A and B are shown apart, each in its own frame.
Chain A
Amino acid sequence: MTFRKYLVLAGIMVFAAVGDSLLSHGMRQIGSISLAEWRSAMFAIFNPSVALGILFLIAFFVTYTMALSWADLTYVLPATSLGYVLLAFLAKFFLHEQITTTRWLGILLISLGVGFVTQGPALTEHPKPSCLPETAETQVKS
C-alpha cells in the first residue's frame, strides 16, 4: 500500500459522503416527489446541489473502480466504511441532524472494523499465473 493508494481510499469515502449529503440537501429543497409524477424527478438534476452531488458520485465510482483494480473487495469495502462516519458528521453540521448515543456507538463499531481490516494485506496473492494484476504487468513490460 502506497500513499497514493491510501489517497484513493480516502477519495472513495469523501466523494461518497459529500455526494450523498449534496443529493439529500438538494432533494429537500425540491420537496417530495410522488411516484405518479416521477417525470418531475428528471428536473431534479437542474438543482445545483443535486447536479454537484451527481458529479461527486461519479468521482466516487471512478475511485472505487480504481481501488478494486489493486485491492480485494473484502478490503476495500470495510476500509472505506469510514465514509458512513463522515456522512454522519456532514449530516450533523450541514444538514443539522442529531447524532444520538446509538449513532456514536455505531461510529465506534465501524472505526474498530476499519482498524481490523487495514492491518492486514490489501490483496490476496494467487499463486496461479491467471492472477491478472501480474499478467497485466508483464504485458506492460514486454
Chain B
Amino acid sequence: MKHAYTWGAILAVVLASTTGDVLLSRGMKQVGDVSKLGRHKGILVVVGTTLRNPNFLLGVLAMALAFYSLLFALSWADVSLVGPASASLTFVANAIAAKLFLHERVDHRRWMAALLVAGGVVLLAA
C-alpha cells in the first residue's frame, strides 16, 4: 500500500511539473523574446507582461503543486528513489507533452537527448 502511495506521489510530481513546464513555455512564447523586448520597451514592461500572462501564472501554480507532491513523496520514500524517478520520468513526459501541446518538432535527436539525460539522471542518483 505504501508502495502505491509512493508511485502515486511520483506520478503526481511528474504530471504537475510537466504541466508547469509546458504552461510556462507556452506563456513565454506568447510574451516573446524577452531580451529583444527588454531592449525596446524596457525591463519593467516585460516583467509586467510576463506576470499578467495567464499561462505563466498557471505554470507557476503547477510548479508549486509539483513541489508539494515531491514533499509528500519524500515523506513516504527515500530521496534516492523519488529524486531520480521523478526527474527522469519528467524529461520523457516533457518530450511527449511538448510534441502534443506545444507542437515542437521533437525529432530523433531530441528523443535521444531526452532518453540519454533521463538514463543519466537515474545513474547519477543511484
Q: How far is the CB of A128 from chain B (nearest CB, A)?
A: 10
Residue from A88, A105, A116, A137 within 8 A of B32 (CB atoms): A137
Given that A69-B28, A84-B120 are known contacts, is A74 also in contact with B33, CB under 8 Å in the complex?
A: no
Q: How far is the CB of A109 from chain B (nearest CB, A)?
A: 3
Inter-chain contact B104/A119, CB cutoff 8 Å: no
The total of chain B residues at the interface (CB under 8 A) is: 46
Chain A residues near B110 (CB-CB < 8 A): 74-75, 78, 116-117, 120
Given that A73-B22, A84-B124 are known contacts, is A78 also in contact with B113, CB under 8 Å in the complex?
A: yes
Interface flag for A114 (CB, 8 Å)? yes
Inter-chain contact B126/A102, CB cutoff 8 Å: yes
| Interface secondary structure of B, over-half rule | helix
Inter-chain contact B123/A109, CB cutoff 8 Å: yes
Q: How far is the CB of B115 from chain A (nearest CB, A)?
A: 8
Chain A residues near B121 (CB-CB < 8 A): 81, 84, 106, 110
* Residue in A closest to B18 when the chains form the complex, CB atoms: A73
Q: Contact residue range for chain A?
A: 35 or more
Residues of A122-142 whose CB lies within 8 A of B: 124, 126, 131-133, 135-137, 139-140
Not counting A70-B34, A74-B113, A106-B125, a sample of 4 additional A-B residue pairs whose C-beta atoms are within 8 angstroms of each other reads A65-B34, A69-B32, A74-B114, A78-B113
User: 13 pairs across A/B with beta carbons < 8 Å?
Assistant: A68-B29, A69-B31, A70-B35, A73-B102, A74-B99, A81-B120, A84-B120, A88-B124, A100-B126, A112-B116, A114-B113, A136-B36, A140-B41
Query: Which residues in B have some Cβ–Cβ distance to A below 8 Å?
Result: 21-22, 24-25, 28-37, 40-41, 50, 56, 75, 91, 94-95, 98-99, 102-107, 109-110, 112-117, 119-126
